[in-house]
């Protein structure tokens, strides 16, 4: 073991930061043995020095001066969250050649390329296993284990809040509002759940996964996101009728176009067969399915959130980073050589399921079918149920571009037909 101590600075000491500090204290000897050098926390930056803290946090290490923590450390752990001040602080650390470990998905999705370039320029290391799927080692899997393979598709349930809510709607018959209230009561959802329920959190993770899997720079703005606000108990009942479940999925896929290969990206509610692996990911668990040419289909699953689970991912990066500081070497560099074009959302092709509410009148179904036919969309299945003077009709399509579905929806609404929901059918 190197006699040189690796000095660690921690920025942020909330739920995850507290667990990181606690585990570094409790497992310090083991972690040092794995890293090949002693590990020492030299400072912990917090916003409030007077706040109550876990007894594992040494108050003598607390400060509000983030810059002093960065300057004294060899390795900086950023767990503040959000874009600023983390972006400025991470840039300061990388510019000084420090190793940085972050779990900040929003920062990487918005400014990843800028930070990757800075790290390469300054010969600094940037680790971010904790940014996607908590304790699930999918970043490592894509960044290193599958580096010799060609990946064709990545599909993930990467937001535990919405996964829990959809499970409640499916198994307990709760409405969207009831499921959200329950998730907030249990601490799965924030008081402002926008990032989760509108799909933005999943989109940020999708951008990171796509960048790694396809060696192409993907930002949050490249990932169209549709959340779960419009999902109702009726949608869950319809899915159950077809022996399926609704999941909010993040998908990044290599597709062939007339001009060559491109990436199709998106976050959206999808109906998956009960027999599929993703259908059985419940509660706040996450799962990522990777389809590779040589390795075949691989699935990474586990706790997608939680202080100690996310701390596990942070510490794996800390050990790797500390080892490189003590003995040389570097983290894998960003690889964007493929530079694949990103398909516009309207060009993405899927199978769809539309639920419409129409009057219970003779010829209505034929009129619906004609609109689909006019737009060149083939219907694969129809299911209807009557409710007083209205009929709920569920129509499933064969694979078609999103713009065709948008056109059908526009035409249906123009004729007075209410389109209650549009879901993607995942094979």
The DSSP code sequence of 84-102 is: TTHHHHHHHHHHTT-EEEE
Percentage of residues in the chain with pLDDT exceeding 90? 77
CATH code where residue 399 lies: 3.30.70.260
Please state, in angstroms and rounded to a whole number, the distance separating the CA atoms of residues 306 and 201: 15
Name the 3-class secondary structure at 142.
helix
Q: Binding site for NADPH: residue ranges?
A: 105
98 and 149 inside one domain: no
Q: Binding site: residue ranges?
A: 11-18, 105, 190
Domain-located, residue 216: yes
36 and 171 inside one domain: no
Domain-located, residue 353: yes
93 and 200 inside one domain: no
Burial of 282 by CB count in 10 Å (0-12 exposed, 13-18 middle, 19+ buried)? middle
Is residue 407 annotated as part of the catalytic site, yes or no? no
Identified catalytic residue from 205, 245, 247, 403 = 205
Position 311 pLDDT exceeds 90: yes
190 and 270 inside one domain: yes
321 and 236 inside one domain: no
Position 426 pLDDT exceeds 90: no
CATH code where residue 264 lies: 3.30.360.10
187 and 253 inside one domain: yes
Please give the pLDDT value at position 3.
Answer: 65
Domain-located, residue 97: yes
The mean pLDDT of 6-29, rounded to a whole number, is 95
Domain-located, residue 336: no
Please give the pLDDT value at position 307.
Answer: 83
Domain-located, residue 85: yes
75's tokens: 């390795």
Predicted confidence (pLDDT) per residue in 177-223, tens digit: 999 999 999 888 888 999 999 999 999 999 999 999 999 999 999 99
Position 59 pLDDT exceeds 60: yes
**Alpha helix (H) ranges present in 186-265?**
194-197, 200-214, 233-241
Position 58 pLDDT exceeds 90: yes
Please give the pLDDT value at position 133.
Answer: 86
25 and 109 inside one domain: yes
Predicted confidence (pLDDT) per residue in 147-184, tens digit: 999 999 999 999 999 999 999 999 888 999 999 999 99
Which domain does 367 fall in, by range?
345-423
Position 127 pLDDT exceeds 80: yes
145 and 284 inside one domain: yes
Percentage of residues in the chain with pLDDT exceeding 70? 98
Q: Binding site for NADP(+): residue ranges?
A: 11-18
Please give the pLDDT value at position 159.
Answer: 94
CATH code where residue 40 lies: 3.40.50.720
Reported as a pLDDT band with limits 50, 70 and 90, residue 388 is: low
194 and 287 inside one domain: yes
| Sign, CA torsion 230/231/233/235 | positive
- pTM here is 0.91
The mean pLDDT of 48-71, rounded to a whole number, is 95
- How many independent structural domains does the chain possess? 3
Please give the pLDDT value at position 416.
Answer: 87
Please give the pLDDT value at position 164.
Answer: 93
Strands 62-63 and 151-157: unpaired
83 and 154 inside one domain: no
Position 52 pLDDT exceeds 70: yes
- Final residue belonging to a domain, choices 301, 334, 355: 301
Predicted confidence (pLDDT) per residue in 323-382, tens digit: 999 998 888 888 888 899 999 988 989 999 999 988 877 788 888 999 999 999 999 988
Q: What is the mean pLDDT of the chain?
A: 92
Domain-located, residue 330: no
310 and 293 inside one domain: no
Domain-located, residue 225: yes
Per-residue burial over 393-409, b if 16 or more Cβ lie within 10 Å, else e, is: bbbbbeebbbebbebbb
Q: Binding site for L-homoserine: residue ranges?
A: 190
Domain-located, residue 331: no
292 and 145 inside one domain: yes
């Amino acid at each position: 073991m190197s006699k040189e101590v690796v000095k660690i600075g921690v920025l942020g000491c909330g739920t995850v930061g507290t667990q990181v500090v606690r585990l570094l204290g409790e497992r310090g000897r083991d972690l040092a043995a794995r890293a090949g050098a002693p590990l020492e926390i030299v400072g912990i930056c917090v916003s409030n020095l007077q706040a109550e803290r876990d007894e594992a946090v040494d108050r003598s290490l607390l400060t509000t001066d983030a810059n002093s923590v960065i300057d004294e450390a060899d390795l900086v752990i950023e767990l503040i969250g959000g874009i600023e001040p983390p972006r400025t602080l991470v840039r300061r650390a990388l510019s000084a050649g420090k190793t940085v470990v972050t779990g900040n998905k929003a920062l990487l999705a918005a400014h990843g390329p800028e930070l990757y370039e800075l790290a390469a320029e300054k010969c600094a290391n940037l680790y971010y296993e904790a940014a996607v799927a908590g304790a699930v080692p999918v970043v490592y899997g894509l960044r290193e284990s599958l580096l010799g393979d060609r990946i064709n598709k990545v599909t993930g349930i990467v937001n535990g809040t919405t996964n829990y809510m959809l499970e409640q709607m499916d198994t307990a018959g709760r409405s969207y509002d009831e499921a959200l209230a329950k998730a907030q009561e249990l601490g799965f959802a924030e008081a402002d759940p926008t990032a989760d329920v509108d799909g933005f959190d999943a989109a940020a993770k999708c951008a990171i996964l796509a960048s790694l899997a396809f060696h192409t720079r993907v930002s949050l703005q490249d990932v169209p996101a549709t959340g779960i606000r419009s999902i109702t108990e009726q949608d869950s009942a319809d899915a159950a009728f077809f022996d399926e479940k609704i999941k909010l999925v993040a998908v990044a896929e290599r597709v062939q176009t007339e001009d060559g290969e491109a990436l199709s990206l998106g976050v959206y509610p999808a109906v998956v067969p009960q027999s599929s692996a993703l259908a059985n990911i419940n509660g706040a668990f996450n799962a990522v399915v990777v389809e590779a040419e040589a390795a075949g289909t691989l699935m990474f699953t586990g706790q997608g959130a939680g202080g100690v689970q996310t701390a596990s991912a942070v510490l794996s990066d800390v050990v790797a980073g500390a080892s490189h500081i003590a003995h040389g070497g570097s983290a894998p560099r960003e690889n964007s050589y493929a530079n694949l074009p990103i398909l516009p959302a309207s060009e993405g092709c899927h199978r769809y399921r539309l639920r419409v509410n129409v009057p219970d009148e003779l010829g209505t179904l034929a009129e619906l079918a004609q609109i689909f036919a006019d737009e060149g969309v083939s219907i694969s299945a129809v299911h209807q149920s009557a409710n007083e003077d209205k009929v709920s009709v569920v129509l499933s399509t064969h694979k078609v571009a999103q713009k065709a579905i948008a056109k059908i929806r526009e035409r249906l609404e123009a004729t007075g037909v209410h389109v209650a929901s549009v879901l993607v059918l995942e094979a």
